[in-house]
A = this chain, B = another copy of it.
Amino acid sequence: MPQLLTGATIIDGVADQGVDGRAILIDEGRIAAIGREADLRVPADVETVDFGGKYLIPGLMNANVHLLMSVFLETLVRYEDRYEDLITEAAQIALKSGMTTVFDTWGPRRALTSVRDRIDRGEIVASRIRCAGNIVGFDGPFSGDFDGRISGVGSSYFVDRINAMWVENTGRHLMWLTPEAVGEEVRDYIGRGIDFVKFASNEHGATAAGAFLQFSGRTQRVIADEAHRAGLTAQSHVSSVEGLRLSLEAGCDLIQHCNVTGPTEIPRETLDLFGERGCGAVLFPLTDNGLSVLKESVSDFEWTMWKAADTNCRNLVGSGATILMANDGGIIAPEVMREPMIKNTWNGLPEGEALGRLATGHFVWLRAMEEKGMSPMELLRAATRNVAEAYRVDDDLGTIETGKIADLVVLDADPLQGAKNYESIHAVIKGGARVDLGALPERPLLTADLPGPAEEESRYHRFLHHGARLPGCPSCLPGPR
């Protein structure tokens, strides 16, 4: 049934300001026309929805999420047969938070593409997914690239199976191959139905000084070329200024968390390359408040890295780079969120400043970048049109224009009057259909509350020990055990 949306200020992502007095006609999931209501040729069976006093913006797009983020042994065992349900739940949370499209940049290909297709077929109401599968060059969740302890604790059977689900033929061993041989593997992987190619320019597992390069410039070029030959976009994971430069020169369409470059600020020459190459810059910013909280819990040296990451954000604004909103958004299992060690990550920040949480982190992003000097309209585009263009899906998505898919967010407050107003979601329309926000997610898994204490726990907890060290020999130094 066609719909006519009336009454709202429309911020279409194209014009430099919002427009009042226009209505949007939606038919068969797309925007059929935009104009003064009087001017529109409206079908007889149209349903008119009055959004008077509201603000209509394009559906938000997140350039970097991980719908199955909680790759801890516990989570992956507990939900062993339900990875698609976890992904579905995350995609529903995303939709509920205004993101009509999300780009999953690391996860298990088979499960992700299966959920993607079910959403595309309308079987599930959730955020539209486009996904990369594995990051080419990375080993699996239970490896030195992520958590190497698990391969000694989990059974080989399970460890191998999980790593296989994430890695398939695109793991660390590619580092041993020639550029051409890497290209062949990537071509093979593309053939299995991913939507874009993401590869590692820098390593992931590094925990100390420096960041190794995963692939040479030539290999990176071969990978990007394979993606382009297949009509896909290419992007990379970087964590050093040289890793960043190599990827820019390799022809990436966008680069993930390009502001994260260790303690070294991105040099001017490299900043300029973004504009010259037309490469999208995905930033991971923190709010000023978030940074000041974090500063208290990290070492002086780590702080130099967070500081450089912040300076890079500021320098990229106005550098000519096209900036994209993204936040590594994911859902971490609630029992892990309780762990004290999480406080040194951005998920450990107070919820209002925590960048990586799927439901709220993109709002943090918008407020953080507002602080760093992006204009209101730049912010809107970073979260919509820029993402669509960088991922080459702007024929259908990213702005409110006739002919495009009707992905819309209705806000109570004007987003151009303050980034905070993005949180005032009144309604979400995806593919022309209004989303029943209250029904999302229907069956909470990772977002469910933890069960209360078992009967035995009180009897256990009233004893004090919990493995605390015995000062039986009070002059002895504690060793690590």
Contact = CB atoms under 8 A, between A and B. Distances in A.
A228 interface: no
A460 B264 contact: no
A240 B176 CA distance: 6
Interface string A162-189: 0111011101111111110100000000
Given A169-B463, A213-B216, A456 B152 contact: no
Given A450-B157, A457-B160, A212 B472 contact: no
A169 B177 CA distance: 32
Interface string A241-285: 111011000000000010011111001000000000000000010
A130 to B, nearest CB: 20
Contacts of A481: 144, 148, 205, 207
A116 interface: no
Contacts of A384: none
A298 to B, nearest CB: 8
A308 to B, nearest CB: 9
A195 B239 CA distance: 33
Contacts of A292: none
A468 B146 CA distance: 17
B239 A216 contact: no
A344 B474 CA distance: 9
Interface string A279-313: 00000100000000000001111101110010000
A434 to B, nearest CB: 32
Interface in A381-409: none
B469 A207 contact: yes
Interface residues of A, number: 131
B263 A464 contact: yes
A305 B470 contact: yes
A196 interface: no
A372 interface: no
Interface string A308-338: 0100000000000000000010100101101
B470 A72 contact: no
Can you tell how many copies of this chain the complex includes? 4
A122 interface: no
A424 interface: no
A73 B108 CA distance: 23
B467 A209 contact: yes
B158 A74 contact: yes
Given A306-B471, A456-B109, A339 B262 contact: no
A339 B179 CA distance: 36
B77 A467 contact: no
A49 interface: no
Nearest to A286: B474
30 contacts: A110-B454, A144-B208, A144-B481, A149-B152, A160-B461, A161-B454, A164-B461, A168-B459, A169-B460, A169-B463, A171-B209, A171-B463, A172-B208, A175-B211, A175-B242, A176-B241, A176-B264, A202-B472, A207-B470, A208-B467, A209-B468, A212-B212, A213-B213, A216-B242, A217-B217, A218-B245, A262-B470, A300-B464, A304-B464, A305-B470
Question: Closest 5 CB pairs between A and B?
Answer: A209-B465, A175-B210, A212-B212, A164-B460, A239-B472
Given A161-B454, A171-B209, A345-B477, 19 more contacts: A73-B74, A77-B78, A147-B479, A156-B338, A161-B453, A164-B459, A169-B459, A171-B460, A175-B211, A175-B213, A202-B472, A212-B214, A213-B216, A260-B474, A299-B468, A300-B464, A302-B469, A339-B477, A356-B475
Interface of A: 69, 72-74, 77-78, 80, 108-110, 137, 139, 143-144, 146-158, 160-161, 163-165, 167-169, 171-179, 181, 202-219, 239-243, 245-246, 257, 260-264, 267, 284, 298-302, 304-306, 309, 328, 330, 333, 335-336, 338-339, 341-342, 344-347, 355-356, 450, 453-457, 459-481
